[in-house]
Structure 1
Amino acid sequence: MKFAVSLTMERFSPEVPMATVKNNLLTLARMADEGGFEMLWTAEHHTIECTISPNPFQTLVWLAQHTKHLRLGTSTLVAPYWDPIRLAGESALCDHLTNGRLEFGIARGSYQYEFDRMAGGMPQQEGVAYMKEIVPAVRKLWEGDYAHDGHYWKFPLATSVPKPLQRPHPRIWVAARDPGTFDWAIANGASILSTPLSAPAAEIQVLSDKFHKAVADHPEVPRPRFMMQRRTCVYDRPDGWEKAVQHSMDYGRAFENLMQNAGTVQNGFPEAVPYEAVKGKENYNPENIRKNLMFGTPDEVIEKLLVFEAAGVDQYCLGLTFNLPFELQKRTIELFVKEVMPVFAARENDRKRAAGG
């Protein structure tokens, strides 16, 4: 199992300068690069300060100038916000400017608050149809001249300029939770981005079963990769969970605001909805959060990660963007590099030796 980190510029107070936010992201990205993480993922979001990333390609090109080894991924582009020709060209140019390190991740989109501003108010659930139309169109544009006559987009013969550096194109990843999306993505040669959110560990196997069923149903397709992400905080002392859990709860209430349009957003800062208004109150039980999310000392985190490994996850992604204090984000990466990743590297080497013998 390989490891990635999900990082995005985030501000939760107008008192925090953008220069600080930018520099914090750069520091964490360099730490991940030097520490041996496989990938860095960054999201697309608009009009909200808690995720500052109106064009993730810009962020990845910038980070590419300051890192050497990290693969650089979009997690995720929001399909309804893009035109196929523009998406093909911008992603291909990003691939060149990152020296072939781009990983192309796309999704239907999540926050209804954003859809009301970026997609004419359409229900965010409808974004999946846009995704299913735009991904094949982008792939065709990367290949060469292509004319499109679809439901959402129509254009005469055109092509991506430039073409991607990676041949035939960057790896495509699709965010999936329901079986239909797993099946469509794998049938179309895409790898999978998924998350059990705040659900108990059993949800990891549920998602894994969906992935492996889709893989089995499409033997004609080379096996794709399977990434899973959780909010993550690694700390030195067993009582370190309290701060991580509190930040997760507070962030979750802001997240509910954006998902449900259940509160106000002032100058880009969403208010945290009252506890009484949240859905799935069991997800706000401190003990459930401590148990379900990737919070723990290095030994506790290793035990939790073994569940992901057993489920066939190829890449575990540390979700660090939930207003966790910067020092805790840094300490999480430090402890992960020093005490967690070597355990899984050793396990992989043991398996290789066993297979070779």
Structure 2
Amino acid sequence: MKFAVSLTMERFSPDAPMSRVKNNLLELARIADEGGFETLWTAEHHTIECTISPNPFQTLTWLGQHTDQIRLGTSTLVAPYWSPIRLAGEAALCDHLTDGRLEFGIARGSYQYEFDRMAGGMPQQEGVAYLKELVPAVRKLWQGDYAHNGQYWNFPLATAVPKPLQQPHPPIWVAARDPGTFDWAISVGANILSTPLSAPAAEIQVLADKFEKAVADHPEVPRPRFMMQRRTCVYDRPEDWQLAVQHSMDYGRTFENLMQNIGAVREGFPEAVPFESVKGKDNYNPDNIRKNLMFGTPDEVIEKLLAYEAAGVDQYCLGLTFNLPFELQKKTLRLFVDEVMPFFAAREQDRQRAVGSGR
């Protein structure tokens, strides 16, 4: 199992200068690169300060100039916000500017608040149809001349300029939680990005079963990779769990605002919906959050990660963008690099030795 980190510039107060926000992201990216993380993922969002990333290709190109090895991924582009020609060209150029390190992650989109402003108010659930038309069109534009006559986009013969550096194209990843999206994504040769959100650990296997069924249903397709992401915080002392849980709960109330479109957003800052609106839900129970999310000491985190490894997850992604204090974000990465990743590296070495010896 490899490891990745999801990072995005975030502001939760107008008192936080963008210069500091930008520099914090760069420092975390460098720690992840030097520490041996496989991929850094960053999202696309618009008009909200808690996730500042109107074009993740810009962010990744910038980070690519300050990192050496880590792969750089979009998690995720929002399909209805793009045209095939523009997306194919911008992704390919980003691939060149990052020396072939781009991972192309895409999804239907999430926040209804954004869809009201970016997609004419269409229900965000309808984004999946755009996704299914967009991905094959982008892939064909990467290959050469292609004309498209579809439901959402139409254009005469054209091609991506430039073509991607990686051939035949950068790895494609699709965000999925429902069985239909798993099945479609794997049928077109995409890898899978998924998350159990705040659900109990049993959800890990539920998602893994959806992945395995889709793989079994498409034997004609080479086995794709499977990434899973959770909010993550690693700390020295077991009693430090309360800070991580409180930040997760506060961020969750902001998430409810944007997903359900039920709260105010002023100057780009979403207001957290009142705790009374969510109180009683299992995923707002502090003990459940502590148990379900990737919160814990290094030993506790290793124990939780074994469930992901057992479920066949190829890449576990640390979700760090939920308004954790910056020093705690840095500590999380460093503890993960120093005390968690070596455990799994040793397990991989043991497996390889066993295979080599024929055991």
Q: Which TM class, normalised by the smaller chain length?
A: over 0.9
Distance in 2 between the 1:237 and 1:280 partners? 28
Q: Which residues in structure 2 correspond to 1:1-357 (within 5 Å)?
A: 1-278=1-278, 281-357=281-357
Distance in 1 between the 2:184 and 2:356 partners? 35
Distance in 2 between the 1:10 and 1:262 partners? 21
Give the partner amino acid of 1:216.
A
RMSD: 0.7
Deviation at 1:279, TM superposition (A): 8.3
Deviation at 1:355, TM superposition (A): 1.4
What's the TM-score, normalizing by structure 2?
A: 0.99
What's the TM-score, normalizing by structure 1?
A: 0.99
Distance in 1 between the 2:38 and 2:347 partners? 17
Deviation at 1:252, TM superposition (A): 0.2
Give the partner amino acid of 2:15.
E
Query: Deviations along 1:272-305, whole A, 9 cap, x unmatched?
Result: 0012223871100000000000000000000000
Distance in 2 between the 1:352 and 1:158 partners? 47
Indicate the SS of the match to 2:222.
coil
Give the partner amino acid of 1:202.
A
Give the partner amino acid of 2:212.
H
Distance in 1 between the 2:305 and 2:70 partners? 21
Name the % identity.
85
Distance in 2 between the 1:251 and 1:303 partners? 25
Q: How many residues align?
A: 357
Distance in 1 between the 2:280 and 2:352 partners? 42
Distance in 1 between the 2:356 and 2:191 partners? 27
**Structure 2 gaps, min length 5:** none
Query: Deviations along 1:135-158, whole A, 9 cap, x unmatched?
Result: 000000000000000000000000
Distance in 1 between the 2:280 and 2:197 partners? 12
Deviation at 1:352, TM superposition (A): 1.0
Q: Quickly say closer, same or farther: Cα 1:241–1:136, change in 2 above 3 A.
A: same
Indicate the SS of the match to 2:232.
strand
Give the partner amino acid of 1:88.
A
Give the partner amino acid of 1:132.
K
Indicate the SS of the match to 2:99.
coil
Indicate the SS of the match to 1:19.
helix
Distance in 1 between the 2:261 and 2:274 partners? 13
Distance in 2 between the 1:51 and 1:88 partners? 24
**Structure 1 gaps, min length 5:** none
Distance in 2 between the 1:158 and 1:278 partners? 49
Deviates more, 1:347-356 or 1:304-313: 347-356
Indicate the SS of the match to 1:344.
helix
Distance in 1 between the 2:312 and 2:306 partners? 10
Distance in 2 between the 1:199 and 1:323 partners? 20
Deviation at 1:271, TM superposition (A): 0.2
Distance in 1 between the 2:33 and 2:280 partners? 36
Deviates more, 1:270-279 or 1:335-344: 270-279
Distance in 1 between the 2:53 and 2:212 partners? 32
Distance in 2 between the 1:278 and 1:355 partners? 50
Indicate the SS of the match to 2:231.
strand
Distance in 2 between the 1:354 and 1:224 partners? 24
Deviation at 1:21, TM superposition (A): 0.2
Distance in 2 between the 1:30 and 1:339 partners? 18
Distance in 2 between the 1:199 and 1:10 partners? 24
